[in-house]
Amino acid sequence: MRSWIIVALLAMLLLAGCKAISTEPSGHDVSGSVELLDSQRDNAGVIVALYNAVELNSKIIEQQAIHSNLGYPIDQQSEFDHRYQLPYMQTTTSSSGGFKFEGVSTGNYNLAVLKENYGYKYIIDISVSTDREIPCIEMLQETVLSGQILTDITFSEASCTYIESDTEIITPASVTLSSGAIIRIAPGKMLRFLCPVMFDTAENSVRITSADKTFDFSGNLDTIELFSKISFSTDEISNQQISNLIISHSTLGLSVETNTAIAFQYVRGLNSHRGLVIEAGSSTISNCTFTQMANCALDLYSDFGIHDNIFGSCEQGLFAVELDGTINNNYFFENVFGIRVASPNLNIAHNEFDDCDLSISVAASVCTIEYNNISGSDMGIETSSIYGDVCYPTIRFNNFVANTTHISIIGFHDMFTPVIRPHIGVAGDIVCPHNYFDTLSNELSLLDANDDDWQESWSEEYYIDITLQNSTLVGNAGLE
């Protein structure tokens, strides 16, 4: 009997010991090598940093899952910038170019490879669930450009390009922008094309950004200085289309000075003062995504057609003056101003406005605002005037939900004067038929010239007529 008890106790102890010494895997190895393709034989000293995957904007992802043709399709390639975050792990290469990270947790990562005078390369969206070997990463010395250039230039993935001072590439030169190229522009400097430009970017976008803090691993974006702009001052653009660009940390962003009609497609603009400035020539802008613009995403001075874009967290999504155009099927979210226009003939239709301070501000315009979803705004639609021009919009078949003020036909407008002053925005009553208002119980849900707030300043008594309102949501409003 005693021997049986002893055997049982020994078995229990052995079992407990096995449990004590069994451990979960401590992580995985991620290794690879870097080769510097020049006369230098020593591949040591290249910084290799591993980063956690970027958390993509949930509102954009949600909308693009429903509307596949909406905006620039954001992913790790478009959103990752190594200056945004601290490295998960960091090392430098040996003389042979080898590197290794040990104990990497299961997950998704991005890899940045950097060296002074070589710029950087990204290896995007690395999935780690077991040991990983990264194929050899080849780097060429960085191309440095400055001043006026009269020879052909190809911007390619093979090497970074550094713009160290204001640079103009002038005919008889020509420019080719190839997939995956990285262009770093010194703070305050610009790159201007005054020659034919060819786009070869079908496989991957060209990344254009400020050169500031390239080799800073503090993760502090607040201190990054902006480059001035990249400018297309030529009528010779292949297929009259500018496409597949990622532009960040710029004052004027992408600036276009051409007399021909240009189509802009698949442009990603972020963390800049302005995104796209069009100074001449009619334009069509589609499938672009602009976020975090301190001034405005689109600054337009020529007639336009704008559709299937995303504007988020900008001071102004779109600003235009004295132009004709269409603004259809775009998603505006968390902007101070979604649309801010003083244009005579506009059609604003089938857009989605989500949590903007002021969704639509129109002045000096006989425009049509129809089939839009406007929700979560401090003010949905504001009308006003400049230079005494009448603003008399048609507002119909829209859904107004959870706005503090749905419509105001008197607005304060400070676009063209340093002193904020009100303007009569309309010359008569505004009839707004067939809209849906979730509530009109709030005394501020509609503001017109007969409200007490305005009575001391204005004798005109114009009204917002919503007699023919919908009792249910307009079914085909919003994004198509």
Q: 126 CB contacts (<8 Å, ≥6 apart)?
A: 30, 108, 109, 110, 111, 132, 134
How does residue 38 score in pLDDT terms, banded at 50, 70 and 90? confident
Q: 435 CB contacts (<8 Å, ≥6 apart)?
A: 395, 396, 397, 398, 399, 400, 466, 469, 470, 474
Q: Are 316 and 78 in contact (CB under 8 A)?
A: no
- Taking residues 56-72, report their average pLDDT: 97
Distances (CA, A) of 434 to 89, 134, 250, 349, 437: 58, 60, 43, 14, 10
What is the model's pTM? 0.89
Rg of the chain over Cα atoms, rounded to whole angstroms, equals: 28
Q: Are 449 and 462 in contact (CB under 8 A)?
A: yes
Q: Dump pLDDT digits (tens) for 418-445.
A: 444 444 456 667 788 999 998 875 444 6
Indicate whether 294 pLDDT > 80. Answer: yes
- Taking residues 467-475, report their average pLDDT: 89
Strand, coil or helix: 77: helix
Bridge partner residues of 167 (DSSP) = 147, 191
3-state DSSP: the chain helix, strand, coil percent, rounded to 5?
A: 10, 50, 40
Neighbours of 326 (CB within 10 A): 17
Q: Dump pLDDT digits (tens) for 145-165.
A: 999 999 999 999 999 999 999
Cα(179)–Cα(196) distance, integer angstroms: 18
The tokens describing 42, both together, are: 């020593």
Cα(85)–Cα(81) distance, integer angstroms: 8
Indicate whether 448 pLDDT > 60. Answer: no
- Taking residues 450-459, report their average pLDDT: 43
Q: 58 CB contacts (<8 Å, ≥6 apart)?
A: none
Cα(318)–Cα(304) distance, integer angstroms: 11
Distances (CA, A) of 441 to 179, 406, 444: 55, 12, 8
What pLDDT does 194 receive?
Answer: 95
- Taking residues 350-369, report their average pLDDT: 91
Indicate whether 451 pLDDT > 60. Answer: no
What pLDDT does 7 receive?
Answer: 43
Q: What are the extents of the domains in the chain?
A: 28-57+73-139
Q: Which of 96-110, 289-303, 428-442 has the lowest mean pLDDT?
A: 428-442
What pLDDT does 342 receive?
Answer: 80
Q: Which of 112, 102, 117 is nearest to 36 (CA)?
A: 117
Q: Is the dihedral of CA 242, 331, 340, 370 positive or negative?
A: positive
Give yes or no for a cis peptide into 172 (omega within 30° of 0): yes
Backbone dihedral region for residue 95 (phi beyond 0: left; psi -120 to 50: alpha; all else: beta): alpha
Range list of β-strands (E), 24-88? 28-36, 47-52
- Taking residues 282-299, report their average pLDDT: 94
Cα(57)–Cα(405) distance, integer angstroms: 27
Task: Name the CATH topology of 28-57+73-139.
Answer: Immunoglobulin-like (2.60.40)
- Which uninterrupted H or E stretch holds 330? none
Cα(177)–Cα(234) distance, integer angstroms: 15
